[in-house]
Structures are given as C-alpha cells and as structure tokens.
Amino acid sequence: MHEDIEKTLVSEVEIAEKVAELGFNISRDYEGKDVVLVNVLKGGVIFLADLVRAIDIPITIDFMAITSYGAASQTSGVVRVLKDLDEDIEGRHVLVVEDIIDTGLTLGYLLKNLRVRGPASLSVCTLLDKSARRLLEDLPIKYKGFDVPDQFVVGYGLDYRQKYRNLPYIGVLKPEIYQKATS
Ligand code: 5GP
C-alpha cells in the first residue's frame, strides 16, 4: 500500500496536532450549545472519529451517505442521498464534518438540503481544502485543517477506488496507479 504513494502531503503527526487544535476551537465555540456533528460517509469517518475525541463538550453525531453521479474522481454536484440523518436538526447547531472540499458542489448541495430543515446554525469543518478547484464560493467553512494543491490525494479516510482509506497519513498516488487502472 505505502509503495503506491508518491509523496506524503500531511503526516500522521501533523494530522494529530491539527485535530487537537480543531477540537479545542470547536469546544470553545460551541460551549453550552446543542450541537450535532454531521458526517458524510465514508471519506470523513476517520477524521470524525479522531475529532470527536478532541472535543470536550457534549455533542451528538449523525451520518449521511451520498453518492455523486459521474466518474469517481470528478463531481457534478448532483448527488443522491443514500442514507439520511437519523435525528431532527431543527433548532440545533449543525457542524458538517468533511474530509475534503474540492469544487464545493457536493457540499453546496448538502448544505441546501440541510438548511431547509431549520437548524439554529449551519457551519462546516473540513480537514482538507483544495481551493484551486473551487466553483462554489460563500461556503460557511468555519474550521479548516490544511490547504492541499490540485492533486488527487488519498489516505486518512480518502480513497481511490475504495482503497487507501486506512493509510494513517495523506499522500499523493503514483501516476502509474491511475494509468494501470485506465489502461
Ligand atoms: P466536490 O464536490 O467538492 O468537488 O467533491 C467533494 C468530494 O469529492 C469529496 O468529498 C471526495 O469524496 C471527492 N474528492 C475530491 N477531491 C478528492 C481527492 O483529492 N481525493 C479523494 N480521494 N477524493 C476527492
């Protein structure tokens, strides 16, 4: 698995330090509020699992599963909800926890879907921000881990064809891995 990685973009130690910092800030900002962390399966699940343990105020977590139409490494922004939230979010403070924001189209759709349910507030915490490819501005990104360049990254929850999610760091795949897959 590690031999397929060209280079490490964010190390395990850097991730741990950032998660602790984000957890601290979230705990401070949401103290005394009824907050639910909404996670989008499956890419964000590793990040969420670490993040919640860095938060020391009462919170709940809930999950959504969505799928994009089109090729695996491209988004159209048109998504289908495969699994909806279990809980009602009306009047609650919702923090969407994302693995990566690329064009922002998927997140934009998701936020629209959540906003009509009447949350008290709706914000986003993303581990990675690939802002060079952003098509949608004005996303309520309140917390951000790292900026990443316009490259396809894997690890720490992020996959390529469902693999590499269990890498403990974030890296860029060697080009021959894609080429093998497309040839
Ligand atoms: P967006 O709608 O922002 O373009 O796409 C967001 C989704 O595309 C992410 O939640 C993720 O599933 C996928 N994605 C975007 N960039 C990458 C990347 O570099 N690596 C991986 N593994 N997935 C990505």
Tell me how crowded residue 124 is: count the other CB atoms within 10 A of its CB. Answer: 21
- Our answer to whether residue 29 is catalytic in this structure is no
Q: What is the pLDDT of residues 48-78, one digit of tens each?
A: 999 999 999 999 999 999 887 655 555 566 7
Identify the residue whose C-alpha is closest to ligand 1 atom 9: 100
Q: Is there an atom of ligand 1 within 6 Å of 126 CB?
A: no
Q: Output the CA 129–ligand 1 centroid distance in Å.
A: 10
The reported pTM is: 0.92
Q: Is there an atom of ligand 1 within 6 Å of 5 CB?
A: no
**Best residue for ligand 1 mutational test, from 5, 100, 178 (most atoms within 8 Å of Cβ):** 100
Structure tokens at 68: 């994009």
Q: Which residue has the higher pLDDT, 3 or 21?
A: 21
**Best residue for ligand 1 mutational test, from 75, 125, 141, 170 (most atoms within 8 Å of Cβ):** 75
Q: Output the CA 56–ligand 1 centroid distance in Å.
A: 29
Every domain of the chain and the residues it spans: 13-150
pLDDT of residue 9: 97
Any idea which residue has 């279990």 for tokens? Answer: 86
Q: What is the pLDDT of residues 95-149, one digit of tens each?
A: 999 999 999 988 998 999 999 999 999 999 999 999 988 888 889 999 999 999 9
50, 62, 86, 102: which is the annotated catalytic residue? 102
- Say how far apart CA 149 and CA 132 lie, in whole Å: 7
In single-letter form, the type of residue at position 136 comes to L
- What are the helix and strand counts (H, E) for the chain? 4, 9
Would you mind telling me the total number of residues written for the chain in this entry? Answer: 183
> Are 111 and 126 in contact, with CB atoms under 8 Å apart?
no
> Are 126 and 110 in contact, with CB atoms under 8 Å apart?
no
pLDDT of residue 71: 55
Hey, which CATH number is domain 13-150, 3.40.50.2020, 3.30.200.20, 1.10.1510.10, 3.40.640.10? 3.40.50.2020
* Residue 167: band (very low, low, confident or very high) from pLDDT cuts 50, 70, 90: very high
In single-letter form, the type of residue at position 118 comes to G
Tell me how crowded residue 2 is: count the other CB atoms within 10 A of its CB. Answer: 10
Q: Output the CA 127–ligand 1 centroid distance in Å.
A: 12
* Strand-pair category, 35-41 with 60-68: parallel
